[in-house]
Structures are given as C-alpha cells and as structure tokens.
Structure 1
C-alpha cells in the first residue's frame, strides 16, 4: 500500500483529506483519505505504488493549506512488547527493499491531548533510535538538512508510522509546529498569527523589502493592536482602523495613526500603502473581496489577512474565496503569489498572503 501521512490541527481531518484528494487529482495521483475524527493526522492511500513518493516530492508542505507536515509512509508498525519499541521498527524497515539515507530524524506525535501524553516517550526514545538508525546506515552521523528526513510518528504507545519526507518540501519544525514566544508588550495573543505569517509565508527578501522601517501599512480591525504591534516593532507607520480602543503604549510610539472608522469603507490616507493586514471577524468571501479590491485599486502593494472559517466545508469555502481573489487580480493583470496556510497560531481561520512580484 502506497500512502502519505499528513499532520493537521485536530478537527480538521476532513478538510486536510479533501485538500490532498484535490491536489493529488490535479497531479493525476488518485487515492482516498483515512482518518479518525480529532486524531490530528490523515493517512492518504494511493492506488498506485509509486504515487505516494511522487506526491511528497512534488508537493511542498508550505504550499498546502491544512497540512503541517507530510511524509511518505514506509511502515505501519505495531509494537507488542513496550519494553522494546525500537526493535520492531528496525525489523519493519529491514524487510523493505530500499530505505533511503536520511540526514535528520523526527520522533513525533499528534497535536492532541492524547498526543501530548506521548511527548515524553518521543523525547526519551529519540536518542537511542537515532543511534540504532545510524548503525543500520539509514541516518548520517551528522545532521544534513539537504537529505530526506526520517519520521517516526507515534499514534499510541504501541503503534507508529515510519516514513521519509523530501528535503525541499518538508516543514523544518518538530510535529510541523512553529512555536513562538508571546511578546509581553503585545496587547493580544493574536499578534502571534501575524508574526508566524511574516516568518513563514514571506521569503527573507520579501520580508526585508516590505516590512522596512518607514514603510506605511494599514491594519483593518486593529484593536487592541496585536497585529499593529508586529508592524510597529518593525518601525512601520500604521493606520490602525477600528472602532475599539488601541493600546496606549502603541499610540505612544508615534508610529500609529488611529482611525475609528468602518474597515469596509476606509481608504488609505496617502493613497497607497506597502502592506494591508486584516483580522476582522467577517464572512470569508466578504473579506476576500475587500482585500482584492484594495489590491486591484492599487491602494496596497501587498496584503496579509485572515479568513474566518465555517464549521463545515472549510476547504471548499477557502478555495472559492481564493479563486475569486485570483480572478480579480488576473483581470487587472496584477502578478502576485498567493499563499494560504492554516498556521499553528490560527484557530478557526486561515491566513492568506498576497505578495506582488518585487
């Protein structure tokens, strides 16, 4: 059986399964998802033996919406004797015709309450497992990020999936999670959503060019200032639009121009800004159309925004909204990359980054 394993936020298994199905179909790679509700992962089974490898090599995880990590499954291991968990894994891999040489080892678990109970086991077993894999010649003596990575993903104390991820397409983080420290000066935890987006959805070149000191930005739905904080900390001038109250220490920076106005009717004060950000609680299609309007009117060069998700058909909702944005930009002949991610610090929303060619 040829399959891939993908991690996601618990409760989003249906959406991740639908996304992989759609992505695979676009590539001519067909199969079906298998998962349990709230398990935090999806196993996608392909009909053809080579398709799992083809999918992993052609689909970077950062170009998906709901996947945190993605690897080709080599073995599904049941462990009968919990006093020796490494032995059965070695035996299962030894039976394979070919195990690629890997430069990294990730021993992981799902982001669930049950998964958190496995964290101690994963940490405890990582070092002896790394030594055992090196002895077998499956893992280089020194870590090499340019090689495939081996993943051992425990779903329970007596079961794990073992597989490999592509060096260019995997997440560099354990469990596919980018953990950030909450800055004490930020007025809300929502600041972590924009920080993660700026770090992971923009290249170093894009971040340096867009978030430069002195550049202007607009934050729609700004109060109390979690997203504005990220921009001000990069010395950007921010037009903060909201009817609520902004944090006093942000106003004291002299970099914030507070505008108690309707975000759907607001226009930038000087005609154009470098970056538009938005985390308003509103229907996703309405926010998507607002963002597209700003981009098409050249009121902003780039945009980073969140789309709040419904309880059902989340993948389909996001797909429809993004297709609308793409169509509007294409009509105006605006060249831009559009990246959509369900980030770790997001909840029932996805983050969209629309970045014009620099």
Structure 2
C-alpha cells in the first residue's frame, strides 16, 4: 500500500503545509502528491517511492514550518460500513490496518499507546467524542496483538477523516509532535496580563524542550521589545529572568510592580541596552523583514545571545516571506561568524504569523 504523509496545520495554511512536505520530499529525492483542501486544517500527501530513513533525514534537514503534527502511514481506510448496515465495529478495521503497517519498514512495532486525532476545525472537533470512545479500546486491541509497549519509542496515530474513514501511521519521537493534534495543553496563568503569554510559553516548550532549564533560567538578563501589556514579560519574569520591558505603552500594573521587571518607555525598533543580554524576545507588529533585520542586528552585534520573535504574515506568499527572513538572519550571523540554530514554526497560539527562535551554539 502506498505511504502517505499526514500533516495537521492551522486552517487556512494548508498550501503552506503542503509546500513544507514538498521541501522534505525534494531533500529525500522523492515527490509527494498532496491533497490540499482550503480550510481543512489537514494535508494528506501520497509519497512516491517512500524510504523511511531518507524521509526522516529530510525532516531533520527541512523542519516543517506550518505543520503542527507530522507522521507517515497508510490510508485512507474504510473503518465503518455504509449507514443502515448495523452498528460499526471500527476497532477491527483499525487494528487490521495497524497490523499491515507493522510489516512496513520504518513502522515496526512495538509502539506507544495510540493517539486518535482529527483536524482542528469545527467539522473535525465534531469527531472528538468518537475519538475518545475509540482511544482505550484501540490501545487494548493493539496491546493484545503485541503492538503496544509502554517503553517503546514510536507513537502510532489515527487521523479520523470522518466517522467512516481514517488514516493510520506512526511517528518518530524526534520528528512527531509531543502533543496529540500538535496542540499543547497549556494552562492560562491567572497572574498573566494577557493571553499572549501562552504563545511564548508554547515557543519555549517547542524550541527549548528539555533544555529549558539550561538555556533559560533565573538570573539571566532579557529584553522584551513591544512588551505592553506584558504577557511575554510575565513568562520571563516568572522564570526569574531580569527583564527590560520596552514599550511606550503601559504595562499591566502587576507587571509594572514586579521586581524582576524594568519598564523602559522607548521605541522597540531603536532602543538598545547598555549591556548584552542572554535573551531577546520580540512581538512587535511590523513588516516581517523589518523584524528579521532587527533581530539579526541584535544577534550579530552580540547585544543578545538568543532570541524568540514573531513574524506577522498578512501577505499572500507567506512561506516565501518566512524563508526570505530566515536567509537575512542566517547571512548576518554567518558574516559575524556566529554559530547558531534558527527555526521557525507556526505555533498553535499563532494566528496569521509564525514564531522564530535563534539559539547560539556556544
């Protein structure tokens, strides 16, 4: 059976997600035939002449920007009979599909317990009750067949296309999302002044992961450009960082009183600190290239060591603009002989935007 790639994304960004898959396929020296349905929040792409190892290497070389969750497998499979043909047994056809999948290179069992997913749309969310009803039963069926082990590495996935159709597959832990549907379950802190704080919290979880304590910790100095009312500043200050919150606008009173925060009333595009800082964060509403140049200036000059920033994408060629901004930052860092990693991702808490992260290697 042909291999398919499943990419979950934000509704309205299916074309960009498909372009991400195309870039991965090109590096893997293959092609993909992607089904792009605007507003579906999902791309199903058939991979020609799939090679699991080459695909894995290609994902590492070209990490997707607009994909929340990426995995490969087979499908779509029929998992329910036509209406009126009796109560459907969806577990049996799903288990059979996984049994076939387990014979394919790159998908060998044992696996972790499965995640049953659906697109992040109103139509997709209508399948959430069905997904929950299948969850434990499918895990039990796969465990009975010897396909599930709690110490396994690969995660099996099911995408419910609708109530009668599904794709199945698996993902490497270093490629797949650590959350079902690629959506983190983040608590909105009562103390935070705005919901934007969740965007930075997600960025830290995605880009820093298990290295958070080593890379971002108490005692470091940080600058938040475009800080008001203080959602991003709160994330940093709550971790013990000393934050210069730069904005001509007012901070929320709770943030302004925080001993870890200094409110600097200035233009975030022009202001610079007297001393270098470990972290620059920036959520200024500006043209993406102007923000990219700004971030590149801070990093190339040594004013900041690491950065997390947001690029607003109101234009049509959104992915092309992100790539142009990435080239600008990389060129400046290369000219300054600074070794760093640069990554972009459209986070769950992003809207018409992406979040970027630059981490110095040494």
Query: Please, what TM-score do these two structures have when normalized by structure 2?
Result: 0.91
Counterpart mapping for 1:197-346 below 5 A: 197-205=203-211, 207-268=212-273, 270-346=274-350
Structure 1 equivalent of residue 67 of structure 2: 67
Q: Quick one: distance in 1 between partners of 2:25 and 2:101?
A: 25
Structure 1 equivalent of residue 35 of structure 2: 34
Q: In the TM superposition, what whole-angstrom CA distance separates every residue of 1:277-309 from its partner, at most 9, and x where no partner exists?
A: 000111100000000001111111111100011
Counterpart mapping for 1:6-45 below 5 A: 6-45=7-46
TM superposition shift of 1:88? 2.4
Greater shift after overlay, 62-71 or 313-322?
Answer: 62-71
Contact 1:4 1:56 in 2 (8 A): no
TM superposition shift of 1:76? 1.7
Structure 2 equivalent of residue 163 of structure 1: 169
- The size of the alignment, in residue pairs, is 352
Unaligned 5+ runs, structure 2: none
Q: In the TM superposition, what whole-angstrom CA distance separates every residue of 1:103-127 from its partner, at most 9, and x where no partner exists?
A: 2311111111111111111011111
Q: In the TM superposition, what whole-angstrom CA distance separates every residue of 1:157-215 from its partner, at most 9, and x where no partner exists?
A: 1111111212332112111111201111111100011111112201434x324422222
TM superposition shift of 1:135? 2.6
Contact 1:291 1:303 in 2 (8 A): yes
Root-mean-square deviation (CA, aligned residues, Å) is 2.0
Structure 2 equivalent of residue 77 of structure 1: 77
TM superposition shift of 1:310? 2.2
Give the secondary structure class of the aligned counterpart of 1:253: coil
Q: Quick one: distance in 1 between partners of 2:101 and 2:249?
A: 61
Give the secondary structure class of the aligned counterpart of 1:9: coil
Answering whether residue 136 of structure 2 is matched by residue 135 of structure 1, we say no
Answering whether residue 112 of structure 2 is matched by residue 112 of structure 1, we say no
Greater shift after overlay, 18-27 or 333-342?
Answer: 18-27
Which residue of 154, 162, 175 maps to 2:160?
154
Unaligned 5+ runs, structure 1: none
The structure-2 alpha-carbon separation of the partners of 1:259 and 1:30, relative to structure 1 and needing over 3 Å to count, comes to same
Contact 1:17 1:42 in 2 (8 A): yes
The structure-2 alpha-carbon separation of the partners of 1:209 and 1:94, relative to structure 1 and needing over 3 Å to count, comes to closer
Give the secondary structure class of the aligned counterpart of 1:307: strand
Answering whether residue 192 of structure 2 is matched by residue 186 of structure 1, we say yes
Give the secondary structure class of the aligned counterpart of 1:230: helix
Q: Quick one: distance in 2 between partners of 1:109 and 1:213?
A: 39
Contact 2:101 2:169 in 1 (8 A): no
Q: Quick one: distance in 1 between partners of 2:355 and 2:276?
A: 22
Greater shift after overlay, 291-300 or 76-85?
Answer: 76-85
